[in-house]
Amino acid sequence: MPKRCDWARTELSIAYHDSEWGMPVHDDRKLFEFLVLEGAQAGLSWEIILKKREGYRAAFDGFDPAKVARYGDRQRQQLLLDAGIVRNRLKIDAAIQNARSLLAVREEFGSFDRYVWRFVNGVPRKRKRGQAVPVYTLESDAMSKDLRTRGFKFVGSTICYAFMQAVGMVNDHNHTCFRLMRLQRPRHCALSQWPSELIPSPMVASLEPFNSSARAAIWIRVSIPAGPPLRIMC
């Protein structure tokens, strides 16, 4: 059985830990989902939120911020009666307001993803071995402060740090957890020796370990029908 972070003990939390927590997220709708869920968790356990996650998806139009931003009094009242979510007026109002603020951020920066990842300079943070898991950091402080100036609600530094953990801005898996190293592997591939427009769907022939002074990587050796073998760094 693989070694996991201590908090992953139930069926729901294990599935979430193994497939999502700490995985870098760059999709605006997914980022909005975690912004809503982390705000909803305030004062509650994450297990409760995981159990209500599907209820949130249904209640908030699949976390489409453009739709949520248009919610009015009728939708608010429906949400307050929806047992599938946390029926807290302040948290519901915050979700709606955050959708509107997110759209404003998207208008300014091109995407919420581009805006929010600036707080870690686009690179996931990682704890040093033996360092305790913090509840907030200088980065989450800065993120919280800036979000508040833009009208976001339920975005204190602790909530922001939990959000950063969830969407992979921080890799907080324990050093004994099997997910730590998997998430540290580069997930984007760069082609070399061949113009991208000339590359058909290649057949992967072999995996070649490769180390450089900058980082460890994997070179995938592929065969191109119309030319010499190509290597892809992943």
What residue numbers bound the domain in which 96 lies? 11-184
The confidence band for 130, taking pLDDT boundaries of 50, 70 and 90, is confident
Question: Which of 16, 71, 115, 194 is labelled catalytic?
Answer: 16
Instruction: Verify that 133 and 214 share a domain, yes or no.
Output: no
Chain segment 99-119, per-residue pLDDT in tens: 999 999 999 999 999 999 999
State which of 143, 166, 184 marks the end of a domain.
Answer: 184
Q: Which of 7, 20, 21, 38 is catalytic?
A: 38
Please identify which of the residues 46, 47, 136, 219 carries the catalytic annotation.
Answer: 46
What total number of domains does the chain contain? 2
Tell whether the model's pLDDT for residue 207 goes beyond 70.
Answer: no
Alpha helices in 52-88 (DSSP H): 53-59, 65-68, 73-80
d(CA 75, CA 59): 9
46 tagged catalytic: yes
Order of strands across the sheet with 216-223?
190-191, 230-233, 216-223, 203-211
Question: Worst-scoring range by mean pLDDT, 22-36, 51-65, 133-147, 198-212?
Answer: 198-212
Whether pTM > 0.85 for this model: the answer is: no
- Residues 54 and 97 grouped into a single domain: yes
Burial 177-202 (b: 16+ CB within 10 A, else e): bebbeebeeeeeeeeeebeeeeeeeb
Beta strands 216-223 and 190-191, pairing class: unpaired
